[in-house]
Amino acid sequence: MTFWEHVKYIFRRIFLPNSLRTMEWQMLKLLNKDRKKYSLKPLRMQEDLRDVARKHSKDMARKDYFEHENIQGKTPFERLEEARVTDVVAGENLAKIRGYKNPVVEAEIGLMNSPGHRANILHKEYNAVGIGIIKSVDQSFYYTQNFAARDLIFKKKFPKKTTLKKGLRVRGQVFTSATKIIYQVKRQIKDEKPLFEEIVYLNKRNFDFNIYFKDTGIFNVLIYIDNGDGKTFKAVNKFEIKVRKGWW
């Protein structure tokens, strides 16, 4: 939780203590409190993960089920991929609770007392999480936690389509000691050679660059960062985008 996120959380705890959004931030505080006991780094709340978590909690609450796999048979990983979350995501926790004065506290205690859920909360490689809390008509609270081990985060979700002139702006921050990014543009992921690629140097841990496409169609963008040595790279993200000619 950043300084400003902490300020917003305190404001919400004072003026909107019972809102679902406030409860999500409260659960993040409890998650990080549990991790701190074991000398683990705190988790950062990520909006794309949070959006997927909320949608699953909402789906469970509306359709009255409680499973990692939804009614359509989609797994957590398939739901994340459908939402264009394509970096390394490795765990999901679920909880359902009703009738407690402090439901978030009780839910977190229950998760920590469950070996599988506890393992996700205390996984040393995780550095990001999305928490979604929904209240059903029978006053039950549904909790979804989606965990990730991320090397970088983006400022905003990528659009599904763009135009040749507009291109694609890519902004964000890396969590590691990387010094540069390489992006590649391919027609198909399996293509051996990219249509084009470029190296982008980081400003401290921040990046902000534009990708301009040379033709219309559907393309795959692959993002790599170096391992801190400036020489070896690893893939950290990929996504698909449709490019059209547009009017301007």
Length reported for the chain? 248
CA-based angle 60:63:65, to the nearest 5?
Answer: 55
Quickly count: other Cβ atoms within 10 Å of residue 218's Cβ: 11
List Cα–Cα distances, 30 to 33, 38, 40, 42, 147, in angstroms. 5, 13, 13, 10, 15
Q: DSSP assignment, residue 83?
A: T
How far is the C-alpha of 85 from the C-alpha of 52, rounded, in Å? 9
Pairing of strands 196-201, 161-163: unpaired
Position 88 scores a pLDDT of 63
Position 87 scores a pLDDT of 66
Reading the chain (248 residues) residue by residue, the pLDDT tens digits are 677 788 888 888 898 888 999 999 999 999 999 999 999 999 989 888 999 999 999 999 999 999 999 999 999 989 988 887 766 667 999 999 999 999 999 999 999 999 999 999 999 999 999 999 999 999 999 999 999 988 888 888 788 899 999 999 999 989 888 999 999 999 998 899 999 999 999 998 899 999 999 999 999 999 999 988 888 998 888 889 999 998 75
pTM of the model: 0.80
Position 36 scores a pLDDT of 96
